[in-house]
Amino acid sequence: MIRHLVAWRLATEDPAEKAAQAQKISADLTALKGVVPSISEIWVGPDVVGGTNWDVALVADFVDQAALDAYQTHPDHLAVVGYVRSVVSDRVAVDLEI
């Protein structure tokens, strides 16, 4: 099993805009469950503490590397990625074997 972890910092400093963008990212990525067959589980949400924390995080599980690769290249995922890239300033990711 592969656990895919990603966190993003949003480019905007405006709190209302940041909240709206974080919510859209969360909703759009969560909606991929059932659309992208290789997703076993997915959790996405905005940070609720603030400070120096990153703004949005994703945790997604895949049965193996091939399933993660299928997610990464799925057209519906790529459509969400286009929006995410347009609003983030930084991204960090790690893939763990669990």
Q: What was the pLDDT predicted at 69?
A: 98
What domain range includes position 74? 2-97
**Tens-place pLDDT, residues 35-58:** 999 999 999 999 999 889 999 999
**Tens-place pLDDT, residues 54-78:** 999 999 999 999 999 999 999 999 9
Mean model confidence pLDDT for the chain: 97
Q: What was the pLDDT predicted at 76?
A: 97
Q: Are 22 and 56 in contact (CB under 8 A)?
A: yes
Q: What was the pLDDT predicted at 51?
A: 87
Q: Are 7 and 22 in contact (CB under 8 A)?
A: no
Residue 2, C-beta contacts closer than 8 angstroms, at least 6 positions apart: 61, 62, 63, 64, 65, 67, 68, 95, 96, 97, 98
How many domains does the chain fold into?
Answer: 1
Burial class (CB in 10 A: 0-12, 13-18, 19+), 39: buried
Domain of residue 25, CATH code: 3.30.70.100
